[in-house]
Amino acid sequence: MEGVTFKVQGSGIEPYEVKFLRSSKSGLSAYCSCPAGENGMTCKHRLSILDGNQENIVSSNGADVKIVQSWLFGTDIEKILLKMRHLEAEVEKVKNELSSTKKALAKAMRA
């Protein structure tokens, strides 16, 4: 099985280990040694690398982010990530709409 492991500087003293494995079954799996990752939750360390970000990588293989991104294509992770990004954009839209509605309410109350 092909794999790439990065050391990523997070909020802890020691860098976290972020590992991506390419498998014929699921296409791609991703692990992180941060507290969220170890508890089976999603974390920014893996998302950041899947987004092509090398910023917090402290190992010398930062350029391998491109390899990991090429593994993402056509996987369930890619589909779910796209859905998540879409929902995040929707949330942002609703937040802005709520904010301007509150302003309109305040204005109407002063009239």
Give the binding site for Zn ion (CB under 5 A). Answer: 32, 34, 37, 43, 45
Instruction: Output 32 or 71, the one with its CB closest to Zn ion.
Output: 32
The least CB distance from residue 45 to Zn ion, in Å, is 3
The least CB distance from residue 105 to Zn ion, in Å, is 41
- A 10 A CB-CB count for 10 gives 19
Instruction: Output 40 or 109, the one with its CB closest to Zn ion.
Output: 40
CA dihedral 76, 79, 82, 84 (to 10 degrees): -60
H/E run at residue 27: strand 27-32
Instruction: Output 34 or 65, the one with its CB closest to Zn ion.
Output: 34
The least CB distance from residue 10 to Zn ion, in Å, is 6
What residue type is 12 in one-letter code? G
The least CB distance from residue 62 to Zn ion, in Å, is 16
Instruction: Output 34 or 77, the one with its CB closest to Zn ion.
Output: 34
What residue type is 9 in one-letter code? Q
Is the dihedral angle over the CA atoms 106, 107, 110, 111 positive or is it negative?
Answer: negative
